[in-house]
Amino acid sequence: MYNTYKKLFNEYVKELDNAVSCEEDKLDSIREEMLIEGKSEEEIEKFIIGNFDPICCSGRVITVFRKYWLKCNALNVNNQKLGSDEYVNPKVFTIDWLSNDGDPYELFKLMNGLPYYPIGIDENGDYC
């Protein structure tokens, strides 16, 4: 059941994990530079919080989220055209499926912090 969705989900997890890791590495690099400059841990965290959005809101992470929301939706549309009843809500796909135990759960906790879903609906009622 839903093998195509599961394959797509595995790709999503891999790409999302990579995007999150890149963002974490960027922040770690900034922290390291500031430590070398003699800043305290408190000063560094205050700077990070004041100058950077949460990782779930970074452009790199949002790009992956949107890409797979839209891919899940495209799969739903294609299944409908083929007369298949397989359907997965894109919100469930991009957020809820991450809530499984294991590595995706860490991504779930992170992505659950999205203040809104960065997906629009066009004049035809389609996601964009």
Instruction: For the chain, 128 residues long, give each residue's pLDDT as a single digit of tens.
Output: 468 999 999 999 999 999 999 999 999 999 999 999 999 999 999 999 999 999 999 999 999 999 999 999 999 999 999 999 999 999 999 999 999 866 678 999 999 999 999 999 999 999 99
Q: Which residue has the tokens 């797509």?
A: 8
Instruction: Look at residue 76 and tell me if it is in a domain.
Output: yes
Instruction: Look at residue 28 and tell me if it is in a domain.
Output: no
Instruction: Look at residue 74 and tell me if it is in a domain.
Output: yes
Please give the residue range of the domain that contains residue 82. 3-22+53-111
Give the predicted TM-score (pTM) of the model. 0.90
Check residue 102 and give its pLDDT. Answer: 66
Check residue 82 and give its pLDDT. Answer: 93
Of 23, 31, 5, the C-alpha closest to 107 is 23
Instruction: Look at residue 122 and tell me if it is in a domain.
Output: no
Instruction: Look at residue 94 and tell me if it is in a domain.
Output: yes
Number of domains comprising the chain: 1
Distance between CA atoms of 69 and 64, rounded to whole angstroms? 9
Distance between CA atoms of 77 and 125, rounded to whole angstroms? 13
Of 100, 77, 81, 113, the C-alpha closest to 6 is 100
Please report, to the nearest 10 degrees, the dihedral formed by the alpha carbons of residues 78, 80, 82, 88 taken in order.
70
Instruction: Look at residue 9 and tell me if it is in a domain.
Output: yes
